[in-house]
A = this chain, B = another copy of it.
Amino acid sequence: MAHLSGDNTKLIQRVRRLKGQLEGIERMLVDGEDCYKILQNTAACRGALNSLTRQLMEEHIVHHIEQEASASEPIKAASRDLREILHSYLK
């Protein structure tokens, strides 16, 4: 399986932001912060992880299916439909 399309910078930045969010949660736990605030931050982390997942899946579908030289128009159309459906499922 070929690799991700060229420049992963945006994906890497996303992962680093997620790590930063987790570091924030770690500090709050060490400081004995209120669990309500920690749960709010965990919910934000979950949203960020879903967006990362969505982008990775999009890249997989575009790079390995839609941009394949042999991909016919019906395959490309089905692939675009699938990306749209996944977008609504991985909010």
Using known A-B contacts A39-B53, A70-B75, determine if residue A3 contacts B64 with beta carbons closer than 8 Å.
no
Chain B residues in 8 Å Cβ range of A40: 85, 88
How many copies of this chain are found per oligomer? 4
Using known A-B contacts A43-B89, A65-B65, A81-B1, determine if residue A26 contacts B35 with beta carbons closer than 8 Å.
no
**In the complex, what's the smallest C-beta–C-beta distance from A89 to chain B, in angstroms?**
6
Q: Size class of A's contact patch?
A: 35 or more
How many angstroms between the C-alpha atoms of A6 and B5 in the bound complex? 36
Chain B residues in 8 Å Cβ range of A56: 35, 38-39, 42
Interface, chain A (partner B; CB < 8 A)? 1-4, 8, 11-12, 15-16, 18-19, 22-23, 25-26, 29-30, 32-36, 38-40, 42-43, 45-46, 49-50, 52-53, 56-57, 59-61, 63-65, 68, 70-72, 74-75, 77-79, 81-82, 84-86, 88-91
